[in-house]
Structure 1
Amino acid sequence: MRIHCLQHLEFETLGNINQWVCGRGHTLSRSLPYASTLFPQLDDLDLLIIMGGLMSVYEEDSYPWLKLEKKFVKKCLNEGKAVLGICFGAQMLAEILGSRVSRNEYKEIGWHKVKTIDGNGKFALSSGFPEEFTALQWHGDTFALPENTVRLFESEACREQGFIFRDNVLAVQFHPEVDERCIQDLVENCRSDLVYGRYIQNENDIVDRPDFIEGSASLMFYILDWFESIHLNKTDLWNPGKNFQEEDNGR
């Protein structure tokens, strides 16, 4: 499987994603949209992963490259590519699918409980998640649930923690990809975010949790296993409907 990541932070590492890819013998490539807006040909990728970022999806004036990245992601959706959006990536998917991204009532930073809410068994993905799990959060924005998607997760601080679209597009607000190095890099580069807040943990509580780090790996591996199963059992998992062209969302 050919996996391509859109990386938005210089210090961002792929953590558990890289470990899984190496272990399974797949190929992994990356684009840095903030440095270059050259993206791969759609025929050269099977799974697109949109990583996190410190910017907001609505800050196109400050980050002009966002427009070109969104255009590329829209093309991937229109072609029925499998897509995973993590944190900022989830917010980008929500906006492209027609929803509004805005400031959440609370910043949510640290290890927080997430509940799985898809109890109808419609999606095989949901059945592999426990009813409640702990995941790393690091965000101040949230999104409204897009039409024609199914809400999968929620937390106390943030109602929208993830959704699925067309059986092959997954958005998660939390960070299942983090390993020990990812967390150290986040804390070192984003320490100014660790101020007093209802859902903001201190540095020691974030860094010193090997049990939660191990749990994150299990979540990430399960998600990637699910995408791998889609790739290995290619069927008509999605039905082309609305295309997300430039005029969508007024863009």
Structure 2
Amino acid sequence: MNIHYFQHVPFEGLACMEDWVRRPSNKVTATRFYEDGRMPFVELFDVLIVLGGPMSVHDEKAYPWLEQEKILIQKAIERGKKVIGICLGAQLIAEALGASVYKNTFREIGWLPVSKTPAAKKIELFSDLPDTMDVFHWHGETFDLPKGATHLLSSEACVNQAFSYGDNVLALQFHMEMTSEAIKTITEFCQDELVEGPYIHKEETFYNDDNIVRTNQWMYQLLNKFTQ
């Protein structure tokens, strides 16, 4: 496969997806917006991965490339490319599909459960995943479901945690890709967000090896099924 990924900040990269993306059979390219905002031609990739970042989808004045990024995401979806978004990436996909993105009532940071919707229990993509999963969160915004999207996962603090759109779009509000090193890095750069809150956990609880191994495995399963 030809895979392109959008990386918004140096401290939120592919993490565990690096091994999956860089298999010998794949050709991999990237746009790292903190270095160079040049966009690829849509025709040159089969899969687009849109990673996370601390900025909002609305921060176009501070990050002018956001406008062009949304346009390219929309084009990729329209042309049937496989598009997967994580955290900010999910929010960008939602906005590209015409949905609103806004501050959630609560910020979620740490290991918190998400649960399948009735629709998610019926689709093959999620068939290997448990009905409720502890996954790593780091977000303060959320999105409405785009028209025509399928609602897949919810949490106590955030109704819309994941959706699919057609058979070529998957948006995940949380982070299944996080490794211990990736968690350490995002915690270092976003330390100011670790304030008191009902869904903000203490940093010492972040480094749960069992949860990391488990969610990384789920990430690989989703990537394999999604790109088949």
TM-score, normalised via structure 1 length: 0.87
Residues 1:220 and 2:198 aligned together = no
1:46·1:82 contact (CA, 8 Å) conserved in 2? yes
**CA–CA distance in structure 2, aligned partners of residues 36 and 77 of structure 1:** 23
Q: Percent identity?
A: 39
**CA–CA distance in structure 1, aligned partners of residues 119 and 104 of structure 2:** 25
Q: Whose Rg is larger?
A: 1
Tell me the residue number matched to 1:38: 38
Residues 1:63 and 2:63 aligned together = yes
Tell me the residue number matched to 1:17: 17
2:119·2:150 contact (CA, 8 Å) conserved in 1? no
Letter in 1 for 2:162: G
**CA–CA distance in structure 2, aligned partners of residues 148 and 213 of structure 1:** 32
Letter in 1 for 2:111: W
Letter in 1 for 2:113: K
Secondary structure of residue in 2 paired with 1:93: helix
Tell me the residue number matched to 2:50: 50
Unaligned runs of 5+ in 1: 230-251
**CA–CA distance in structure 2, aligned partners of residues 64 and 40 of structure 1:** 17
1:116·1:129 contact (CA, 8 Å) conserved in 2? no
Q: Deviations over 1:14-61 (max 9, x none)?
A: 111112234564232211124322122222211000000100001212
Secondary structure of residue in 1 paired with 2:186: helix
Distance 1:23 1:64, change over 3 A: closer
Q: Deviations over 1:143-169 (max 9, x none)?
A: 011110100000011110000001110
Tell me the residue number matched to 2:100: 100
1:2·1:45 contact (CA, 8 Å) conserved in 2? yes
Letter in 2 for 1:109: I
2:134·2:211 contact (CA, 8 Å) conserved in 1? yes
CA-atom RMSD in angstroms? 1.5
Tell me the residue number matched to 2:110: 110
The number of residues matched between the two structures is: 228
Tell me the residue number matched to 1:179: 179
TM-score, normalised via structure 2 length: 0.95
Secondary structure of residue in 1 paired with 2:13: coil
